C-alpha cells in the first residue's frame, strides 16, 4: 500500500504576485505591505470564450469582520490581504509572498503555525466585462475542500453544494453580472483529507500545515449566446488487429438557456496532425430551456469512418498522432432562417485514436494491450508539488525524464493533475493510471482501521460527481488507459455503483479497475493488480522470486524504499547538523523521509548499507555507497520484471516503482529528486529500461538479452567477463549468433558457473552486447558477491521482507584509485537554438587493471552548481583501463545563466575532477 502557473495574459494586474517556485526555495520577496491587493481579469464578450481568473486577494476570515455581501461586492478594499496566483493553496501564496520560510528546507515547515489554517479563508477576485449582452457562467473545480461562493454581493452556492476537490460546478450568473467591474469571492473551508473527499499526503512526505486548502484549478468565466455547447467528446473504435480503419462518434450537449424555441446549427470539423479534415453539421431544434445530446456517427457522417487512421502509440511503440475536434453552435438572428446565424458557443479539444484492453491472464493478472499489442507496464508513481504549485515547464521536464528512463506509465493516486499534464502525456506518449487515493475519506467506508472516516449520505453524491467530472475531463486523452476507483481497498457495492454509473454516463472508454491491491468489487470484478510491497529496503535478488513483491503479475506500487539524493541536492535541502546525523545516526528520525512511524528512520536501509558495503566514514562516503546501492536495486527491480514478462507460468505484467518523484525534498521513494538531479536510482532505471538490453539475473546467474523494440534482432554477440576488484580477469565467455524477438522478448545467452576459481568474495561482472557489425549496443556492469543476501520470507510484512544475511560487497573499499580523463565540447542545437548539447569522451587512463567503477558525470556551471534538467545519453558508467565512452548531455542553454559549461567527473574510486566543455 502507499503507506504506509499558468498565468493568464488576460489579467489587468495582480499586484505583488511572485512566481510559483519550481525548486521549492522561494525567491526573494518584498516585505509584506499594507497595500490594497487587487486581482482583476479582463473578460471578453466573445461567444465561446473561457477566461481564467488571473489571481486572487486572500485573507483569513479571522481577520475579516465584514459581511460576505460586502467582501464580495465590487470595489471592496483589500488592504492587508495577500496576493495569490490563479491556482493556489493558501500556504503557496504565503510562501511566495515571503510570509513563511521555505518549507522545503530543513525543518522550516514545522515553524509554520497550523492554527492559522484552521478557519476559512477568503479568495477574492474581480473581472471586467464591457457589456452584458452575452450570457456569463462561472465554471470551476479544484476547490479544497469546500466553499461558499458569492458574486457581486449575492451568494450563489453554499459549501455543502461546492464540496470535494474534484467536483465541477457551473453557475449561470448572467443576471448578476454588470458592465464594468464584477467581484467573485470564495470562502474556502479548511481541508481534512480524512474527513473530506479531497486529497492528502499520507506517508509520502510531511504534509503542509494548510492541508492544501485553496483553489488549485482555474476558475473560468465563460461567455456565450443563448445556446451553450457542453460535454463535447469523441468515441473511437479501432479495427484490431489490422488498424486499417477507425470509426469515430462525436457527442455534444446543446442547451437552450432562453425562454424561446430556437433551431441551433452545430457545425465543426475533426482535423488530424497530418492535415485531414472531416466536416460536421446538424440543425437541432430546441424548445425553451431544453437540452439535447447531438450525436454524429459514420452512418450519418461517412467521413467519420477513417481508412488508415493516424494511430496514437505509447512511447517506444510508435508515433503519438493526435486529432482535434472543433465545434461551433450558431443561432439565427431574429427573423432570420436557420441557414444563417450568430455564433453562440464553441468547444475545442484534442483526442487520439487508440485501443486499450486489459483482460486478466490465466494467473488472474491484469495484462494491458495497446492497439492490440501486449506490453509490460514499466511505471512509477507521480507526485505533484507538495503545495500544488503548477509550473508547466517543470512538469514537462519531469515527463521528459520519464521518457528518458524508458518508462511507459505513470500512476497518479489521488493527485489528478491539471489538464496540461495530460496534454503533455499525450504528446510524450506516457501512459497514465489515474485513480482515487487510499487510506483517506475516499476509502473510509471500506478500509477498516486505516485513517479516513466512514461515509455519510452526503458523501455519495460528492463521490459520484467527482467521478463524473474526472471522467469527462480525462476520457479523450489517449494517454489515460484506466481509472482505478480504489487503491488499497475496493469500494463497496453502493460506492462502486455510483462510480460505474458516472463512468458509463460519460462514455468512459478504457478498463475500470476496482483497486490497485488484490481486491474485487461486484461490478468491476477482480483488480488483477496487487500491492504486497515492499516499501523499504530489500536486496536486489528479492525481485526475481515470484512471491511477495517479486516479478510476477502486476505490482501497482513497490520499491526498496529510500533513495538518498546526490550531495548537491542534500546540501540544498538539509542543514549541516542534519547532514551529519544522516550518516552518523542510523536510528535518528529523518524529517525528510516520512511522518509515518514505519518510515521515520533510515535504520533498515543504513544497516544494509553498512553490512554490504561497510560502515560510512563520512557524508561523502555515505552518499557514494547509497548511489551504488540504489543503482543496483532499482536496476534489478526493472530487470526482473522484464525478464519474467514472457514466462509461460506466472509472468510479470506490470510494475510501478514507488515513486517516480517526491512532491518535496525527500530521502525516499524517488527516481529523480526535487531539483531534477539524477543519481544511482535514476541511472539504474535508465540502464534497465534501455531498448535492447543485456542483463544478469541474481537468482539463477543467467545472462539474457531483452528486446523492447518492435522488430526482432539477430546476429548479436554477448560477452561476459568476471573480474576481481583489482581488475584481475577470472572468467570470460563469448556467445555469438544470438537472436531475440521483439516486443519485450528475451533470449538467454548463458549461465554463469556457480563457482569460479580465484574469484574474490566481492567481484565485478562486465556484460557487453554487440550487433552484427561489431558495434556495442548494450553494456552493463554489476558488483556481486560470492555470498548471497538471505531473505526470511516467513517474517514478511506489508512493507518489507527481512534480510538475515547480507552479500559481501566490502571488497569495493579496497579498489585502487582509477585515473580518468575527459574531453568535452558544446554545440547549440541547430533545430532548437535554445538547446545545447555537450559531448564528452571519458577515458580510463590507468596503466594497471583497475576499472573506474560507476563514474558519474555532472554538467556544472562556473560555480560548480549542477545545470538541471539535463538528459544524458548514458551516465554512471564503468570503464576498464584503456576503455573510453562518448556521452552526450542535452539541456537548455539558458540554464547555464551565461556561464561556460564544465563537466565534473566523480566515481566510486575516481577522484573528483572538473573539465572544460567549450563551445
CB 297 within 8 A of CB 249: yes
In terms of Cβ atoms closer than 10 Å to its own Cβ (0-12, 13-18, 19+), residue 818 is buried
3-class SS at 669?
A: coil
SS3 for 693? strand
147-151/180-188 β-pairing: antiparallel
DSSP state at residue 164: S
Judge if the upstream peptide bond of residue 241 is cis by omega within 30 degrees of 0.
Answer: yes
Q: Contact 691/406 with Cβ under 8 angstroms?
A: yes
Residues 6 or more apart whose CB falls under 8 angstroms from that of 542 comprise: 534, 548, 549, 550, 560, 636, 789, 791, 801
Q: CB neighbours (10 Å) of residue 82?
A: 22
Q: 499526503: which residue's cell?
A: 201
Cis peptide before 802 (omega within 30 of 0): no
Paired strand residues for 378: 655
The C-alpha cell that represents 514 in the structure block: 476496482
Three-state DSSP string of 244-287:
CEEEEEEEEEEEECCCCCEEEEEEEEEEECCCCEEEEEEEEEEC
Spatial CA neighbour of 734 closest among 782, 756, 766: 766
Question: Chain-centre distance of CA 620, in angstroms?
Answer: 30
Our answer to whether residue 557 is catalytic in this structure is yes
Q: Do 366 and 360 meet the contact criterion of CB atoms below 8 Å apart? A: yes
Per DSSP (E only), the strands in 297-430 are 305-307, 323-331, 342-351, 356-357, 369-370, 373-374, 377-381, 409-413
Rg (CA), the chain: 29
Q: 570: cis peptide before it, omega within 30°? A: no
Q: Examine the residue annotation and report whether 795 is marked as an active-site residue of this protein.
A: no
Catalytic residue among 470, 488, 690, 789: 488
Please pick, among 557, 632, 690, 856, the residue that the annotation labels catalytic: 557
Round to whole Å and give the CA distance between 406 and 691. Answer: 8
Distances, alpha carbon 439 to alpha carbons 2, 90, 231, 457, 460, in Å:
9, 24, 32, 19, 17
SS3 state at 909: coil
Q: Other C-beta atoms within 10 Å of 565: how many?
A: 31
Cβ neighbours of residue 615 closer than 8 Å, sequence gap 6 or more = none
Instruction: Kindly provide the residue ranges of all beta strands, DSSP E only, lying in 65-166, ordered along the sequence.
Output: 82-84, 88-89, 121-129, 135-140, 143-144, 147-151, 154-157
Strand partners, 738: 716
For 676, the grid coordinates are 531534477
Return the active site residues: 488, 557
Amino acid at each position: 500500500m502507499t503507506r504506509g502557473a499558468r498565468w493568464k495574459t488576460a489579467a489587468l494586474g495582480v499586484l505583488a504576485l511572485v512566481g510559483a517556485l519550481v525548486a521549492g526555495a522561494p525567491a526573494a520577496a518584498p516585505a509584506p505591505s499594507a497595500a490594497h491587493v487587487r486581482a482583476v481579469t479582463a473578460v471578453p464578450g466573445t461567444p465561446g470564450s473561457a477566461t481564467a481568473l488571473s489571481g486572487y486577494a486572500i485573507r483569513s476570515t479571522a481577520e475579516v469582520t465584514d459581511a460576505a455581501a460586502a467582501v464580495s461586492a465590487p470595489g471592496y478594499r483589500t488592504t492587508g490581504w495577500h496576493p495569490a496566483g490563479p491556482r493556489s493553496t493558501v500556504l503557496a501564496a504565503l510562501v511566495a509572498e515571503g510570509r513563511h520560510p521555505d518549507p522545503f528546507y530543513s525543518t522550516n515547515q514545522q515553524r509554520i503555525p497550523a492554527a492559522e489554517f484552521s478557519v476559512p479563508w477568503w479568495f477574492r477576485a474581480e473581472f471586467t466585462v464591457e457589456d452584458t449582452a452575452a450570457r456569463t457562467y462561472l465554471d470551476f473545480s479544484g476547490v479544497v475542500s469546500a466553499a461558499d461562493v458569492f458574486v457581486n454581493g449575492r451568494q450563489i452556492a453554499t459549501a455543502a453544494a461546492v464540496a470535494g476537490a474534484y467536483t465541477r460546478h457551473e453557475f449561470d450568473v448572467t443576471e448578476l453580472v454588470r458592465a464594468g467591474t464584477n467581484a467573485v469571492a470564495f470562502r474556502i473551508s479548511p481541508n481534512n483529507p480524512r474527513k473530506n473527499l479531497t486529497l492528502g499526503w499520507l506517508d509520502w512526505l510531511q504534509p503542509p500545515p494548510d492541508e492544501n486548502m485553496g483553489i488549485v484549478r482555474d476558475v473560468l468565466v465563460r461567455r456565450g449566446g443563448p445556446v451553450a455547447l457542453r460535454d463535447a467528446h469523441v468515441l473511437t473504435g479501432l479495427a484490431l488487429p489490422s488498424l486499417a480503419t477507425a470509426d469515430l462518434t462525436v457527442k455534444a450537449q446543446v442547451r437552450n438557456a432562453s425562454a424561446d424555441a430556437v433551431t441551433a446549427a452545430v457545425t465543426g470539423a475533426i482535423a488530424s496532425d497530418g492535415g485531414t479534415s472531416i466536416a460536421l453539421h446538424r440543425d437541432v431544434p430546441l424548445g425553451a430551456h431544453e437540452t439535447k445530446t447531438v450525436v454524429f456517427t459514420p452512418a450519418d457522417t461517412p467521413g467519420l469512418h477513417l481508412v488508415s487512421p493516424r494511430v496514437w502509440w505509447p512511447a517506444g511503440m510508435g508515433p503519438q498522432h493526435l486529432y482535434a475536434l472543433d465545434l461551433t453552435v450558431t443561432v439565427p438572428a431574429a427573423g432570420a432562417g436557420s441557414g444563417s446565424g450568430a455564433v453562440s458557443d464553441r468547444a475545442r479539444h484534442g483526442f487520439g485514436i487508440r485501443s486499450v484492453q486489459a483482460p486478466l491472464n490465466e494467473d488472474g493478472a491484469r495484462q494491458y494491450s495497446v492497439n492490440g499489442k501486449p506490453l509490460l507496464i514499466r511505471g512509477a508513481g507521480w507526485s505533484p508539488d507538495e503545495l500544488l504549485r503548477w509550473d508547466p515547464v517543470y512538469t514537462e521536464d519531469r515527463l521528459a525524464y520519464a521518457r528518458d528512463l524508458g518508462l511507459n506509465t505513470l500512476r497518479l493516486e489521488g493527485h489528478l493533475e491539471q489538464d496540461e499534464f495530460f496534454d503533455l502525456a499525450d504528446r510524450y506518449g506516457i501512459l497514465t493510471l489515474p485513480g482515487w487515493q487510499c487510506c483517506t475519506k475516499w476509502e473510509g467506508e471500506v478500509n477498516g482501521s486505516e485513517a479516513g472516516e466512514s461515509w455519510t449520505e452526503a458523501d455519495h453524491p460528492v463521490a459520484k460527481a467527482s467521478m463524473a467530472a474526472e471522467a469527462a475531463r480525462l476520457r479523450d486523452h489517449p494517454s489515460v488507459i484506466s481509472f482505478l476507483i480504489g487503491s488499497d481497498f475496493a469500494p463497496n457495492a453502493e460506492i462502486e455503483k455510483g462510480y460505474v454509473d458516472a463512468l458509463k454516463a460519460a462514455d468512459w472508454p478504457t478498463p475500470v479497475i476496482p483497486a490497485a491491491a488484490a481486491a474485487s468489487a461486484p461490478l468491476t470484478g477482480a483488480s488483477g493488480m496487487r500491492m504486497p510491497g515492499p516499501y523499504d529496503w530489500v536486496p536486489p535478488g528479492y525481485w526475481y522470486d515470484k512471491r511477495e513483491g517479486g516479478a510476477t503479475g502486476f505490482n501497482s506500487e513497490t520499491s526498496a524504499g529510500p533513495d538518498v539524493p546526490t550531495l548537491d541536492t542534500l546540501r540544498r535541502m538539509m542543514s549541516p547538523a542534519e547532514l551529519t546525523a544522516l550518516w552518523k545516526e542510523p536510528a535518528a528520525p529523518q524529517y525528510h523521509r516520512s511522518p509515518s512511524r514505519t518510515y521515520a528512520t533510515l535504520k533498515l536501509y543504513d544497516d544494509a548499507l553498512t553490512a554490504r558495503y561497510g560502515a560510512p566514514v563520512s557524508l561523502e562516503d555515505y552518499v557514494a555507497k547509497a548511489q551504488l546501492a540504489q543503482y543496483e536495486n532499482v536496476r534489478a527491480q526493472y530487470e526482473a520484471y522484464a525478464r519474467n514478462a514472457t514466462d509461460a507460468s506466472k509472468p510479470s505484467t506490470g510494475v510501478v516503482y514507488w515513486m517516480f518523484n517526491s512532491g518535496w525534498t525527500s530521502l525516499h521513494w524517488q527516481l529523480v529528486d526535487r531539483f531534477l538531479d539524477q543519481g544511482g536510482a535514476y541511472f539504474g532505471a535508465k540502464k534497465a529500461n534501455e531498448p535492447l538490453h543485456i542483463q544478469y539475473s541474481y537468482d539463477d546467474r543467467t545472462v539474457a538479452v531483452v528486446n523492447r523494440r518492435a522488430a526482432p534482432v539477430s546476429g548479436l554477440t554477448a560477452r561476459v567477463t568476471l573480474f576481481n576488484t583489482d581488475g584481475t580477469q577470472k572468467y570470460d565467455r563469448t556467445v555469438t549468433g544470438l537472436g531475440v524477438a521483439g516486443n519485450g522478448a528475451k533470449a538467454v545467452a548463458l549461465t554463469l558457473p556457480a563457482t569460479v576459481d580465484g574469484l574474490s568474495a566481492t567481484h565485478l561482472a562486465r556484460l557487453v552486447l554487440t550487433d552484427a557489425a561489431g558495434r556495442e549496443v548494450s553494456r552493463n556492469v554489476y558488483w556481486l558477491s560470492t555470498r548471497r543476501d538471505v531473505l526470511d520470507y516467513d517474517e514478511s510484512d506489508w512493507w518489507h521482507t527481512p534480510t538475515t544475511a547480507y552479500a559481501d560487497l566490502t571488497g569495493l573499499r579496497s579498489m585502487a584509485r582509477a585515473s580518468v580523463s575527459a574531453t568535452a565540447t558544446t554545440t547549440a542545437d541547430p533545430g532548437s537554438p535554445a538547446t545545447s548539447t555537450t559531448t564528452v569522451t571519458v577515458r580510463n587512463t590507468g596503466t594497471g587493471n583497475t576499472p573506474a567503477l560507476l563514474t558519474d558525470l555532472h554538467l556544472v556551471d562556473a560555480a560548480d552548481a549542477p545545470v538541471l534538467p539535463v538528459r544524458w545519453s548514458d551516465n554512471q558508467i564503468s570503464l576498464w583501463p584503456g576503455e573510453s565512452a562518448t556521452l552526450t548531455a542535452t539541456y537548455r542553454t539558458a540554464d547555464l545563466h551565461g556561464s561556460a559549461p564544465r563537466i565534473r567527473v566523480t566515481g566510486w574510486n575516481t577522484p573528483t575532477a572538473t573539465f572544460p566543455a567549450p563551445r
